[in-house]
Amino acid sequence: MWTFEQAGQGWIQLGELGLAFVLSALIGLEREIRHKSAGLRTYTLVGFGAALIMLVSKYGFMNVLVNNRIVLDPSRIAAQIVTGIGFIGGGLIFVRRTNVRGLTTAAIVWLTAAIGMACGAGLPILALAVTGGHFVVVFAFPYIASRLPRSRWTPSLLQICYQDGREVLREVLVRCTQHNFVVSRLQVEKESSTSLQDITDRTVTVGLEIQGTGSISKLAAKLADIEGMVSVHAGDVNVVTD
């Protein structure tokens, strides 16, 4: 007959999980403020899951000890699960230019594997606690992340389309500077024309990567007022989606 503490599911272990949750969230918070590819949710899930796997390794195999002697070594199975799920998680991550997709999904898959390991090892309280933490990360953290202050290191993308020959690009660069933005990269994406004989019919699409502390929406509105501008689209460069 085992007790709450002897099974490795006491307040000490829950406190260790809580500490891992808080510390991992702090690291993720710093990454989120700087708009890195992996942010608040990803780092928290990874740290939280790692803590659970460590507790499973420490307390999940007490039933195979006989007179202080290990009859079997089931911890090798846990190690193989961790390695195997890493390959699965890596296959969920897709990178296209500066956009990263699937990081949070990969972390959730890894965390789910840890929860399954805890259940199989006879540690249901830890598994329930981490499952609850998962829903906190998934549903509450996006609300918190959306209200974090904007950093001057955060890159944003402007895609503008304008009529060629109107000196629009020069005016765009001037207005970006006026609104406290610096253009870090510029790329002409395409040129189109309805009439090769008339230069006024030709449009140019340019992508601008900018950094600054101003309002992207206000800048986009100002750029749309430039004579000869056809369209303006704004958004974040480092977009992390599931």
Mean pLDDT by 10 residues, the chain (242 residues): 60 88 85 72 85 82 68 71 75 63 80 84 87 89 76 76 85 87 80 52 84 80 88 63 48
Query: What pLDDT sits at residue 189?
Result: 67
**Token pair belonging to 145:** 């992340």
- pTM for this predicted structure: 0.57
Q: C-alpha angle with apex 148: 238 to 132, nearest 5 degrees?
A: 90
Q: How far apart are CA 122 and CA 217, in angstroms?
A: 53
Nearest Cα residue to 29 out of 147, 152, 153? 147
- Cα four-point dihedral sign 137, 43, 88, 64: negative
Give the count of alpha carbons within 13 A of 80, CB side only. Answer: 5
> In the sheet that 229-236 helps form, which strands lie side by side, from edge to edge?
181-192, 203-212, 155-163, 229-236
Query: What pLDDT sits at residue 39?
Result: 74
**Token pair belonging to 161:** 């389309």
- Cα four-point dihedral sign 217, 160, 211, 141: positive
Structural domains of the chain sorted by starting position, each given as residue range(s) with its CATH number in brackets? 11-145 (no CATH), 155-241 (3.30.70.260)
Nearest Cα residue to 105 out of 84, 91, 118, 95? 91
Q: How far apart are CA 45 and CA 28, in angstroms?
A: 10
Q: How far apart are CA 125 and CA 134, in angstroms?
A: 14
Query: What pLDDT sits at residue 150?
Result: 64
Residue type, 48: F
Query: What pLDDT sits at residue 130?
Result: 92
